Chains A and B, each alone.
Chain A
Amino acid sequence: AQSVTQLGSHVSVSEGALVLLRCNYSSSVPPYLFWYVQYPNQGLQLLLKYTSAATLVKGINGFEAEFKKSETSFHLTKPSAHMSDAAEYFCAVSEEAGSYQLTFGKGTKLSVIP
């Protein structure tokens, strides 16, 4: 079974600072990897996805992530945090090659300090 580890259940950054949310995965098949964002009392919104094309993936709201096979990592970054980025972020990996059935990490709650 696939697994996802998100380092840090809570991350705080100052407004304008770099956002770095860490995700490491374990997969026995070539993975699809995803980052989702969840705002309070809402569902999940897809930020970006890696499906074996370019290793640097750009998503919505200025976020990007880089797939590093050698490190089994898929960290999420944004150069400059905005107050509206405060939310919970989930990394996910596909259960099977070419599948979107997902295993999620535990999530990282991002706080942005004005």
Chain B
Amino acid sequence: KAGVTQTPRYLIKTRGQQVTLSCSPISGHRSVSWYQQTPGQGLQFLFEYFSETQRNKGNFPGRFSGRQFSNSRSEMNVSTLELGDSALYLCASSLVERGEQFFGPGTRLTVL
């Protein structure tokens, strides 16, 4: 079974731009969670989507948003990028809401 895939793997943007990251979960998994990983703050939970609905949200500003499609694929969007948004963004999928998570390789976002 294929694992979680994330595209693109690397991304460079400038301040003020917006960015969209994509995550394809393991086949059959219906929940997708997103995490931000930075050297200073570590791994922080962004949000979880299940059956196209946001179920849980971490403590991030409204510039961070996401969605999930009917095929369970998910996208997250960051608007008005700031330097501090530079991070590794990890996606994890699970079979059920708040279920055991399987992580993708991440998207490395650099904001200049």
Contacts and interface: CB of A to CB of B under 8 A. Distances in A.
A95 B105 CA distance: 23
B101 interface: yes
Given A105-B42, A107-B42, A100 B94 contact: yes
A106 B43 CA distance: 7
A99 interface: yes
A84 interface: no
B94 A43 contact: no
Interface residues of A, number: 19
Contacts of B94: 100
Given A43-B90, A44-B90, A96-B98, A104 B105 contact: no
Main secondary structure of the interface of B (DSSP, over half): strand
Contacts, number: 42
Contacts of A100: 94, 98-101
A104 B42 contact: yes
A96 B45 CA distance: 14
Given A43-B4, A43-B106, A44-B90, A102 B42 contact: no
A90 interface: yes
B103 interface: yes
Interface of B: 4, 33, 42-45, 48, 56, 90, 92, 94, 98-106, 108
Interface of A: 36, 41-46, 49, 90, 96, 99-107
